[in-house]
Amino acid sequence: MPVPTSTTPPPLFPPLTRAEVDAARTSAWYDVFEDLTTPATIISVDALGERAAFLEWIESDSIFIPEDAGAEPSHADAPKYHLPALNAAMRAAIAKYGAVFPKLNWTSPRDAAFILPQGHGPLHSTSPRDIYLLLKSSDFVQHDLDPARAYEGVAPADVPAEVSIELVLKRFTEMNPSQEVRCFVRDDILLGISQRDTNFYEHYQGEAEQAALVARVREFYEDEVRENYAGGPNYVLDLYLADSGRITITDFQPYRGSTDALLFSYGELAGLLAGARAAPSDAEGDARLPVLRVIDSRAHPAANTGPAFGANMLPVEAVQMSQGQTASDFAAAWQEAMAHGMGRRMDEMSDDDDVDKMD
């Protein structure tokens, strides 16, 4: 007779250790999954001896690019930042791959993608200057430099005093955002799959299409990931499902609240885990798992109606003026526009004063 397993409700999040957070670094899992992910070069800024100089640059209020990074010369009185070893490592990776997609330890500067032309896709970088611009313009990558944020959820006694800095330069590959999914794994059970880009896509509709997607991802997880990931039984996994049938691992993230649950909530995922635990031990307790979540209607409340990370972007006028200009040209154009706007506002105020006097 089937014997029920424990019905104790699981906590919303499992305990999180420093080792589990570190296991989600690209450098920790890249060698294991090298054949299943995009080729990448991992640069330890600490090992280059330029940690202090890198932090001085990225934490400064200025927008100046380090020397010899491919930017136009700075004014004589501008602050100077020197990262020659990092510049050389960046150039070597770019020479190897042609173009790269940058990220720090765990996080890519996706919120700053607007800063570069996107003819080839977001974050397409062909020079150290491009990489520095993305890193400097991103709010997201700051997460990787602050121990309290990088190790959020870890017992305070286990949080390191500082975070080692690694720059990951992946070979740039054009990827259709509609083919990216996020997978939620807890207790080594694949609980849920969510599309990553929250727009409506026809290829996610239909029971047969959804069943095929679930089967494809489940098989990949069971065959390639479950027994090979060294970061414990709880994590979030991002995959790219190519039309060719190939599945590419794009990222791992810790299973915690700061990792976006997308079309799920972590409460729902905990409920799925509770259901799997409550199933009889000799039954196919997780046969209904994973659950797939997609945008199933253009009117779906979670459907994206604006650009991703729009709150992080410059005004559209600034972006339009920046096209095809150097940083100095852009700054001059922006100042001119501001001055023009201020002058027009002063004229309007003067006109208002004249009206007031007439009254």
Q: What is the pLDDT of residue 67?
A: 83
Q: What is the pLDDT of residue 119?
A: 82
Q: Among 123, 144, 172, which residue terminates a domain?
A: 172
Q: Which runs of consecutive H residues, i.e. helices, occur in 37-83?
A: 51-59
Q: Tell me the average pLDDT across 48-66.
A: 91
Q: Tell me the average pLDDT across 30-44.
A: 98
Are 98 and 203 part of one and the same domain? no
Residue 28's nearest CA partner among 106, 89, 130, 86 is: 106
Q: Which of the two residues, 138 and 64, has the higher pLDDT score?
A: 138
Q: CB within 8 A of 356, min separation 6: which ones?
A: none
* The pLDDT of residue 334 is above 50: no
Q: Which of 62-66, 116-120, 217-221, 317-321 has the highest average model confidence (pLDDT)?
A: 217-221
- 112-154 tens-digit pLDDT: 999 888 788 899 999 999 999 999 999 999 999 999 999 999 9
Give the type of residue at 57. W
Domain CATH code at residue 259: 3.30.470.20
Q: Tell me the average pLDDT across 174-194.
A: 97
Q: Which of 7-16, 67-76, 252-261 has the highest average model confidence (pLDDT)?
A: 252-261
Among the residue ranges 196-200, 227-231, 320-324, 339-343, the one predicted with the least confidence is: 320-324
Q: Which of the two residues, 350 and 63, has the higher pLDDT score?
A: 63
Does residue 45 lie within any of the structural domains? yes
Q: Among 118, 137, 172, which residue terminates a domain?
A: 172
- 218-268 tens-digit pLDDT: 999 999 999 999 999 999 999 999 999 999 999 999 999 999 999 999 999
Question: Quick count: other Cβ atoms within 10 Å of Cβ 189?
Answer: 20
- Strand partners of residue 190: 185
Does residue 28 lie within any of the structural domains? no
Q: Tell me the average pLDDT across 340-359.
A: 44
Does residue 33 lie within any of the structural domains? no
Q: Among 139, 172, 205, which residue terminates a domain?
A: 172
Distance CA 185, CA 176 (A): 24
- What domain range is 93 assigned to? 39-172
Q: CB within 8 A of 138, min separation 6: which ones?
A: 109, 110, 111, 112, 312
Task: Write out the two tokens for 352.
Answer: 């208002």
Are 182 and 158 part of one and the same domain? no
Give the type of residue at 249. I
Are 100 and 193 part of one and the same domain? no
Q: Tell me the average pLDDT across 104-109.
A: 95
Domain count, the chain: 3
Are 341 and 296 part of one and the same domain? no
pLDDT band at 79 (very low <50, low <70, confident <90, very high): confident
Does residue 21 lie within any of the structural domains? no
Q: Which of the two residues, 338 and 250, has the higher pLDDT score?
A: 250
Q: What is the pLDDT of residue 45?
A: 98
Are 280 and 325 part of one and the same domain? no
Does residue 29 lie within any of the structural domains? no
Does residue 24 lie within any of the structural domains? no
Are 159 and 45 part of one and the same domain? yes
* The pLDDT of residue 280 is above 70: no
Are 270 and 337 part of one and the same domain? no
Are 134 and 61 part of one and the same domain? yes
Indicate the pTM of the whole model. Answer: 0.82
Does residue 32 lie within any of the structural domains? no
pLDDT band at 308 (very low <50, low <70, confident <90, very high): low
CA distances from 28 to 47, 49, 84 (A): 16, 21, 26
